[in-house]
Amino acid sequence: MDSNVGSEWASWKMAEQIVYVAAFSLIALWLLPVPSIAQEMLPETEKVFGKYSDRVVKVQVVEKDSGAKAVIGSGFFVNPYGHIITNYHVISKLVLHPERYRAERVETAGTVRALSVIAVDVINDLALVKAEVEDVPFFSIAAREPQQGTRLYSMGFPRDIGLSIVEGTYNGLMKHALYKKIHFTAPINPGMSGGPAINASGEVVGVNVSSRGQGISFLVPTEAVERLMKSAGPGKKDPQSFLEDIRCQILAHQEVFFTDDLLRSGQSGRFRGFWSDLFTAAIWPPVRNV
């Protein structure tokens, strides 16, 4: 065979193979689900929001007589039976004055549904409330503490302007906090209280609770969430009974505020009325709650 003819034949066969590969690639792409391709191309934050935002709820406490909104906060489903975690300070008005206030969940379409309080943890600023729904999508709790610097995503309803997502970083537990708190570097705003801070896999790492501004925010660790869920009873309770729960929680924990030096010096008695006065006045924010 002439060398020129052989060279042309080889070039033609190579071109034919390239065409076949390109054709098969196009067919494979055509057979893939379009949403999957689009999902892969989305930025991480957009993917997280699109996948998990339906598990976050808006919680509001309303004055019964006037219908005026007293508190706006956030929460999230923790099981398919309508149980929602939020902050205690979001629903505290209902707990302290059940004859005056009611709690509601506001759905995406604006429909309002009643919420009932199941359990509270005033020390860690958590509450478990119940919506009369079933088979709802819900969050799972992260099995382990993330590494410092891990990207987290906080969701909630800042200043009642709609559901938002905020990117931030996990910076570990506060070293000198009286109770465990997570240092979260991100701007959490009022109205996001009780919302979840999740990892890229949609697992809850902490609960939005407070902020000192300039991107310094704090989360309640999930171990407190798990304890509250385990301690909750099977059904509704009389709102007045929570006052006794709160009193017991405060009395059980007040001793941690007394240092060994105070106890040894006999001066601790000067402080024993502190929490009782605090409870009576119904004052609770150690930092600016959101």
- The torsion angles phi and psi of 227, rounded to 5 degrees, stand at -65, -45
pLDDT at 284: 43
pLDDT class for 286, splitting at 50, 70, 90? very low
pLDDT at 36: 44
Residue 83 predicted with pLDDT over 60: yes
Share above pLDDT 70 across residues of the chain, in percent, rounded to a whole number: 71
- Calculate the alpha carbon distances from 40 to 24, 50, 154 in Å: 21, 12, 21
Report the pLDDT averaged over residues 82-98: 96
Share above pLDDT 90 across residues of the chain, in percent, rounded to a whole number: 59
pLDDT at 192: 97
Q: Strand (E) positions, 125-241? A: 126-131, 140-141, 151-156, 164-173, 182-185, 196-198, 203-213, 216-221
pLDDT at 258: 60
Residue 123 predicted with pLDDT over 90: yes
By mean pLDDT, which of 87-91, 109-113, 162-166, 196-200 is the weakest? 109-113
Contacts with 96 (C-beta within 8 Å, 6 or more apart), sequence order: 243, 282
Residue 280 predicted with pLDDT over 80: no
pLDDT class for 176, splitting at 50, 70, 90? confident
pLDDT at 244: 87
Closest listed residue to residue 199, CA positions, set 151, 257, 135, 235: 151
pLDDT at 250: 87
Domains for the chain: give ranges and CATH numbers: 141-226 (2.40.10.10)
pLDDT at 196: 98
pLDDT at 236: 65
pLDDT class for 175, splitting at 50, 70, 90? confident
pTM of the complete model: 0.77
pLDDT in tens, 23-74: 555 454 445 454 444 445 468 999 999 999 999 999 999 999 999 999 999 9
pLDDT at 183: 96
pLDDT in tens, 231-257: 887 666 676 778 888 988 888 877 666
pLDDT at 12: 59
pLDDT at 252: 82
Closest listed residue to residue 204, CA positions, set 189, 184, 232: 184
Reported as half-sphere exposure (CB side, CA atoms, 13 A), residue 250 has a value of: 19
Rounded CA-CA distance 158/196 in Å is 13
Residue 232's SS3 state is coil
By mean pLDDT, which of 16-20, 35-39, 178-182, 202-206 is the weakest? 35-39
